Amino acid sequence: MKAPITISDNAAERIKHLMEQRAEPAQGIRVGVKKGGCSGLAYTIEYADNIAKFDEVVEDKGVKVIIDPKATMYLIGTEMDFVEEKMKSGFVFKNPNEKGRCGCGESFTV
């Protein structure tokens, strides 16, 4: 079965760095979607201290990304990337399911 998301090399390197910096060990990085922002939905990222029964686990490039089961349908086909620019840096989601995105890029609609 194909993974719901792919992880770019930059994202994998950033996840490895974050995992090394954390004081206590984590299972990986959890990605989810919550209601919010001016377009309706926003991505969430946090450390995953455990893996729940229905979580989707994507292991690639030496990292583990755990997807909240409520977010899977919104993330199918998405590439998770990490971008560093002069004024900002952060994880970026290239999601083919998006129908619109707010001007600041923090939220989206499907």
Q: What is the pLDDT of residues 60-71, one digit of tens each?
A: 999 999 999 998
This prediction's pTM? 0.81
DSSP 40: S
Q: In whole angstroms, how far apart are CA 31 and each of 43, 70, 87, 105?
A: 7, 10, 24, 17
Q: What is the token pair recorded at 25?
A: 């060990």
Q: What is the token pair recorded at 73?
A: 């349908």
Helix ranges (H only) for 1-110 are 9-21, 72-75
pLDDT value of position 1: 64
pLDDT value of position 91: 87
Q: What is the token pair recorded at 74?
A: 């919104």
Q: For residue 9, give the H/E element and its range.
A: helix 9-21
User: Would you place residue 107 in the very low, low, confident or very high pLDDT band (cuts 50, 70, 90)?
Assistant: very low
What's the CATH superfamily of 5-96? Answer: HesB-like domain (2.60.300.12)
